[in-house]
Chain A
Amino acid sequence: MEEEREPAVAEQAVGKTGAEPGKSAGDEAAAKPAGKAVDAPVSEADRESDPDGSEDAAEAAEEAGGTPAAEEPAEKSDATAEPEADSAPQPTLRLTKVTEPAPVAEARAEVKVESKVEPKVGTGAAAKPEPAPAPAAEPEPVSEPEAEPQAAPEPGPTPDRNTGRRRLKAALWPPRLSRGQLVVALLLFSLGLGLAIQVRSTNDHHSQLRGARQEDLVRILDELDSRQQRLQQEKAELEQSLAKLENSSNQAKEAQEQTRKKVTELGVLAGTVKATGPGIVLTVDDPQGQVKADMLLDTLQELRAAGAEAIQINDVRVVVNTYFTDLSAGGVQIDGKKVSQPYRFTVVGNPQDLTPALNIPGGVVRTLESHQARATITQQQKVVVDALVDPKSPQYAKPASK
């Protein structure tokens, strides 16, 4: 609305500067088209008609004499402008605005252009005459920065779209031998070479290190160091545990060995294992049956006192709980087993100790001889005690804690 008013004001100003009587006509002209474009172009176009002409004079002449003449073109342009009456006013108004500060001649030129082109050309382009030539030049500056390193400005891909494949085919076949092609081929050859070398060396671990940077190398070295440390630690732990296991297995073996040895030793003492070794054989021949259990027991005690380790009387093994019983019908029972004459003691022990122990004055041999029995001692390097007793596990006695 403001803009609409302005031309009228301008007109009035013009009118004032010009002849007085023209004022009313000018007002009328401005009022009739309601300050529309039509008015401004007309008057200015008219003004333009005299190139340098003083506005005032032209204005005056026009207003005074040629009102109808002025009206006619006004009507004409109005008619042409009418179809786009809506859009037309704005640019023209803008124009009038522009004309105010701008040099008159320029403004006129613009107006002339506009009045001719108005019906078809977009108002914006006409309204800004300065940038108007720019669009033609615009694509170039825009495309230039976009262009690829080797590329001159590309003139928009749209027209080329259909020819892209054709170009590709044309470039590939038939081969053209030119210097440029050869140089490009050389460059691409070097590219392929570099590519292949790089791929190879990347896949090859050794040369991978060769091309590595110093910091990468340091990092790799650090990693390797820490890994090695870790592995060393692991190795030490494993070795330790191996030693422990070996130790324990050794100990177990040792213990087993000792236990077995102990079992054998104890078995010898308990009479569950055959025994052999140096010793003596004492044969007591008692034709008159004078030898009683107590005398055999004495003999046994003497032997034990002299260090006998395994003793067998006839086929009865003498152990810790062996007992001797006199039978009422004559004869002796050992461990509930009747032993017949001659009583034959097989003793494992030191013969040099056992023999004198039996032969001491007032000892076993003398006592037996005093009862008309005959005792014969033979020392042997190897006697065999092969009678066994059945081990009996104790029914009541249990090992007491220490």
Chain B
Amino acid sequence: MIAVLGLVIGVVVGLFVQPEVPDAVVPYLPIAVVAALDAVFGGVRAMLDGIFNDKVFIVSFLSNVVVAALIVFLGDQLGVGSQLSTGVVVVLGIRIFSNAAAIRRHVFRA
């Protein structure tokens, strides 16, 4: 519950406060957000499976974000940034979908 509240508060704050993001971070923000979404979906699935673990979630969240941003950064350095970020988004999207399917099976039993 507190976690959901945290998400909601984050969205509200982001919408109304409009904090300035440093330029260096801006290109990696979308990818980081997608990676974090993936971690969150995985966490929800784990919770429904009854194997949720705070530590695992935190580590996976942070590592997902960092690795995704790192891949994109590397891609930018190599000159294939857009392709790599597309690839990352595709992979994360597939994972999000499979996690969402598991969640759906738990919640709707279908």
Does A184 contact B99, Cβ atoms closer than 8 Å?
A: no
Bitwise interface map of B from 67 to 106 toward A, beta carbon under 8 Å scored 1, else 0 = 0000000001001011000000000000100010010011
Q: How far is the CA of A57 from the CA of B64 in the complex (A)?
A: 69
Given A167-B48, A191-B40, A173 and B11 contact (CB-CB distance below 8 Å) = no
Residue of B nearest to A211 (CB): B26
* Contact A148–B99 (Cβ < 8 Å): yes
- How far apart are A207's CB and chain B's nearest CB, in angstroms? 8
Q: Min CB distance, B82 to chain A, in Å?
A: 7
Task: Check: A290 CB closer than 8 A to any chain B CB.
Answer: no
- Mostly helix, strand, loop or mixed at chain B's interface? helix
On whether the beta carbons of A189 and B7 are closer than 8 Å, the reply is: yes
**CB-based contact B29/A211 at 8 Å:** yes
Chain B residues, Cβ within 8 Å of A157: 49, 102, 105-106
Contacts A149-B39, A197-B14, A210-B26; A184 near B105 (Cβ below 8 A)? no
Chain B CB within 8 A of A376 CB: no
Interface mask (B1-22 → A, CB under 8 Å = 1, otherwise 0): 1111111111111110011010
- Chain A contact residues (Cβ within 8 angstroms of B): what range? 35 or more
- Tell whether, in the assembled complex, residue A150 and residue B6 are in contact, meaning their CB atoms are under 8 Å apart: no
A213 in the interface (beta carbon within 8 A): yes
Which residues of B are found within 8 Å of A215, using beta-carbon distances? 79, 81-82
**CB neighbours of A162 from chain B (8 A):** 109
Are A148 and B2 in contact (CB-based, < 8 A)? no
Stretch among A174-182, A301-309, A365-373 lining the B interface? A174-182
Expressed in whole angstroms, the Cα–Cα distance for A176 and B60 within the complex equals 22
Contact between B58 and A151, CB atoms less than 8 A apart: no
The residues of A that contact B1 with a CB separation of less than 8 Å are 171-176
- B30-73 toward A: CB 8 Å interface, digit per residue (1/0)? 10110011011011011111111111111111111000000000
Choose from B15, B32, B36, B82 the contact partner of A213 (Cβ within 8 Å): B82
- Contact A191-B37, Cβ < 8 Å, known A160-B106, A161-B106: yes
Can you pick out 23 interface pairs between chain A and chain B where the beta carbons lie within 8 Å of each other? A148-B45, A149-B63, A150-B39, A163-B50, A167-B48, A171-B47, A174-B1, A176-B1, A181-B3, A184-B54, A187-B57, A188-B3, A189-B10, A190-B10, A194-B10, A194-B14, A196-B12, A196-B15, A197-B21, A200-B14, A201-B29, A202-B30, A211-B29
Closest 9 pairs between A and B when the two form their complex, measured CB to CB: A192-B10, A196-B14, A180-B54, A164-B106, A185-B6, A175-B1, A149-B60, A211-B26, A148-B42
State the A residues within 8 Å of B (CB).
Answer: 148-154, 157, 160-165, 167-168, 171-202, 207, 210-213, 215-216
